[in-house]
Amino acid sequence: MVNYNYKFFIELINSFISNEPVKPKYDVEWDEIIRLAKINNLLGILFTSIEKMDKSNRPKEELYNKLKRNFLLQIRNSDQIDMYVKKVIKAFEQEDIDHIFLKGYEIKHCYPVTELRSMSDVDILIRKEDREKSDKILKDLGYKGNFTNCEVWDYRKKISYLEIHTSMVSDEIKQEIDYNKYFSNPWEHAVLTSKNTYKLEEEYHLIFLLVHMAKHFSECGCGIRMFLDIEFYLKKYSQILDWDYIWRELKNLELVAFTEIVFTLCNRWFHSEIPIEPFDLEEDFYEKITENVLLGGIFGFELSNYKLGMVRHDLNKSNSYFKSSFKICKRLIFPPYEELIKQKQYSKIKNKKYLILFAWIYRLLYILITRGKQGFSYLFDILFGKNKIKEQNETMNKLGL
């Protein structure tokens, strides 16, 4: 049976969806409820649901006031981020740079209160040929850049974090399907909404959201906020979507079973209207996936070592756990030169490949000094995580991945 705190946390999310107050049937551990909201980045939504409750059922005044302050801060930060983004749009328009907003910044317009769709960064897709031009523009606007990989460049200015993409998908989910190729030309599936701002077609965007969820599940995990995104997306667009096209594309991507489970979970948790008959999920699986989704946080990092997902993917090629885990540990401590120079602290050795050995020594000492036991524990999890990977594979199979 699912822990009552988890059940009531989901009820509080439903209160935000339905705008109806809820009342706990049993004693609630508010510290645990707030922890779940924090790791899933849903504190603002939690406060709006608590605000609707009878005062006698709310958490103690100190906790309530803390949540209220956080709520007001989230509203203010959201407004400030909007101002930063408007300046970026204006600068892009002046230089004729086409762009598409992805994920959170686009999805928030499906939420009843847009400011409460929290996000750690704003994802913007541009054309590859505009990469250098956009880099200069953002730095002229005061953003500091940090290259993470060839497809995604990060920028930061105060509370504004940007991820500028030149492709939508770059990670492997299923070996036999090339998801990167499928999303290789998003501009053919985008409509112009203003001078240089495009928006993905609704069907194409939903498919992307589902692929993005599958990617996170295959790596480390997926939190309840992504399911909430699907819930509000369906609420807004379900009646106008071309479902025949969507199911046909999902079949080609081998994600029909996964999508059906995602929709079924949305129905079970949020009482959603979904375009299929909900499944009768095995109760053990339902309880396990509910706990994993809630306790793992936004991307599953609270429960699992992110690198285990990399080991699991590599196992498909090597069939040797020792070889795969050792390979990932080696790459983690001693990354290849091309990968290392993308990190800000090693950018000075760019075009100086002969310094790679010194950079590796520095990196090893840095990990030992700054992370200590935590660093060793992280590596230990990778080298001796065979049972965890077996458990993850069982969950992936049941999810259709």
Alpha-carbon distance of 392 to 288, in angstroms, equals 11
Residue 325: CB partners within 8 Å, gap ≥ 6? 311, 382, 383, 384, 385
Six token digits for residue 152: 């995604």
Closest CA to 228 of 208, 209, 242, 243: 209
123 Cβ neighbours under 8 A, 6+ residues apart: 101, 102, 103, 104, 105, 163, 165
DSSP line for 324-353: HHHHHHHHHHS--HHHHTTSGGGGGGTT-G
> How far is the C-alpha of 199 from the C-alpha of 190, rounded, in Å?
5
Where are the extended beta strands (E) located within 52-143?
99-102, 122-126
- Give the chain's residues under pLDDT 70: 1, 147-149, 301-319, 321-322, 344, 372-386, 389
Q: Pick the closest to residue 40 from 247, 292, 232 (CA basis).
A: 292
Tell me what percent of the residues of the chain surpass a pLDDT of 90.
Answer: 62
Q: Hey, what amino acid is at 2?
A: V
Residues 167, 124: Cα–Cα separation, whole Å: 10
Residue 94, pLDDT score: 97
Q: What does the DSSP 8-state code read for residue 154?
A: E
How much is the pLDDT for 194? 93
In the block, tokens 């929290």 appear at 118
The pLDDT value recorded for residue 147 is 66
Contacts (Cβ under 8 Å, ≥6 apart) of 182:
169, 252, 253
Nearest Cα neighbor of 134 from 165, 180, 103 is 165
The answer to whether 382 touches 305, Cβ cutoff 8 Å, is yes
The whole-model pTM stands at 0.86
Q: Which fold has domain 96-200?
A: Beta Polymerase; domain 2 (3.30.460)
Which conformational region is residue 141 in: left (phi greater than 0), alpha (psi within -120 to 50 degrees), or beta?
alpha
DSSP code for 222: -
- Pairing between β-strand 197-200 and β-strand 99-102 as defined by DSSP bridges: parallel
